């Protein structure tokens, strides 16, 4: 039977975190809150847990601790993806990459895990969820976690612990309850092919904001930050638009 624990109401939240780590090591599933929805998680190195996750989701994603950890799986990360990772993670963003550029730690994952992550698709998804409970467990587990994906229009998305317990059923041994998710909406999913990217599904981050996040960003600062730096920005925008032969309002569209 699935156990639901309200992490804010326990005497010591560390006990809940350690219990979650133990269950994952035993091949069980644990449901965590994230900034978007609740997800079910399994240890990526535990084949029993991976098979349990497969029974509730045919296409999981890798949950990373930080944007820096992404380079352990995608050493040759496209520059646009690197900018997006540094600027949007942790946060409501899933990035997908072709298996051909995934090496490093990805090749060390069991075949069953890699098969689930591919999920019949041509790419593998990664995200860095923004929630302390999940991050605390990630710090204490020897390998990465894989979690249920929200990259489908048909799937019901659990926004509360009760919804997660109902949706995932008895396959999940523990649900860590931290109230309703902050956004309650899916992640934005971006797929990279080389340095080109495509918006697979718009979630919390709009396509326009993705455009901005993958662009080159220049910051001008002066001691007062009221006159000289705004003037430097204006002059720079003018010179840059002249160089690119476009209007200043079109600079973001030019990257």
pLDDT number for residue 121: 75
pLDDT number for residue 117: 93
Packing angle between helix 132-140 and helix 13-25, nearest 10 degrees? Answer: 50
**Percent of the chain at pLDDT above 90?**
77
Please tell me the distance from the alpha carbon of residue 81 to that of residue 218, in angstroms, as a whole number: 18
Tokens of 178: 């931290």
pLDDT number for residue 156: 82
pLDDT number for residue 254: 78
Do 115 and 240 share a domain, yes or no?
Answer: no
Do 225 and 109 share a domain, yes or no?
Answer: no
Query: Average pLDDT for residues 62-88, to the nearest whole number?
Result: 94
Domain extent, residue 27, equals 3-212
Do 196 and 225 share a domain, yes or no?
Answer: no
Q: What is the pTM assigned to this prediction?
A: 0.87
Mean pLDDT of the chain: 92
Do 207 and 224 share a domain, yes or no?
Answer: no
Do 116 and 236 share a domain, yes or no?
Answer: no
> What is the domain count for the chain?
2
Please tell me the distance from the alpha carbon of residue 35 to that of residue 92, in angstroms, as a whole number: 7
pLDDT for 155 beyond 70: no
Do 192 and 250 share a domain, yes or no?
Answer: no
Per-residue pLDDT of 1-50, as tens digits, reads 799 999 999 999 999 999 999 999 999 999 999 999 999 999 999 999 99
- Which region among 14-18, 127-131, 248-252 has the lowest average model confidence (pLDDT)? 248-252
Do 40 and 129 share a domain, yes or no?
Answer: yes
Give the CATH number of the domain where residue 122 resides: 3.90.870.10
pLDDT number for residue 162: 96
Please tell me the distance from the alpha carbon of residue 254 to that of residue 190, in angstroms, as a whole number: 19
Do 117 and 232 share a domain, yes or no?
Answer: no
Q: Which residues pair with 39 in a beta bridge?
A: 32
Do 105 and 226 share a domain, yes or no?
Answer: no
Do 117 and 15 share a domain, yes or no?
Answer: yes
pLDDT number for residue 59: 82
pLDDT number for residue 96: 95
pLDDT number for residue 130: 95
Tokens of 8: 């804010």
Per-residue pLDDT of 160-210, as tens digits, reads 999 999 999 999 999 999 999 999 999 999 999 888 899 999 999 999 899
Do 154 and 244 share a domain, yes or no?
Answer: no
128: nearest Cα among 66, 217, 70, 191:
66
pLDDT for 154 beyond 60: no
Do 133 and 207 share a domain, yes or no?
Answer: yes
24: nearest Cα among 74, 63, 80, 59:
63
pLDDT for 65 beyond 60: yes
- Which region among 53-62, 145-154, 179-188 has the lowest average model confidence (pLDDT)? 145-154
pLDDT number for residue 226: 84
């Amino acid at each position: 039977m699935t156990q639901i624990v309200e992490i804010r109401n326990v005497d010591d939240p560390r006990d809940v975190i350690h219990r979650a780590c133990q269950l994952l090591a035993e091949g069980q599933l644990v449901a965590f809150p994230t900034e978007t929805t609740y997800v079910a998680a399994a240890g990526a190195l535990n084949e029993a847990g991976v098979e349990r996750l497969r029974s509730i989701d045919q296409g999981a994603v890798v949950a990373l601790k930080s944007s820096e950890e992404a380079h352990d799986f995608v050493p040759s990360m496209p520059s646009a993806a690197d900018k997006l990772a540094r600027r949007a993670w942790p946060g409501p963003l899933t990035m997908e990459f072709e298996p051909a550029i995934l090496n490093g730690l990805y090749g060390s994952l069991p075949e069953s895990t890699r098969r689930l992550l591919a999920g019949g698709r041509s790419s593998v998804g990664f995200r860095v969820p923004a929630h302390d409970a999940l991050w605390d467990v990630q710090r204490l587990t020897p390998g990465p976690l894989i979690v249920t994906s929200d990259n489908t229009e048909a799937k019901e998305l659990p926004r509360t612990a009760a919804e997660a317990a109902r949706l995932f059923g008895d396959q999940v041994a523990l649900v860590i309850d931290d109230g309703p998710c902050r956004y309650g909406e899916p992640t934005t999913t971006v797929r990279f092919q080389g340095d080109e990217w495509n918006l697979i599904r718009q979630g919390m981050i709009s396509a326009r904001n993705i455009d901005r996040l993958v662009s080159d960003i220049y910051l001008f600062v002066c001691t007062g930050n009221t006159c000289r730096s705004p003037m430097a920005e204006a002059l720079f925008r003018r010179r840059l638009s002249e160089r690119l032969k476009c209007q200043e309002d079109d600079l973001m569209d030019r990257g």
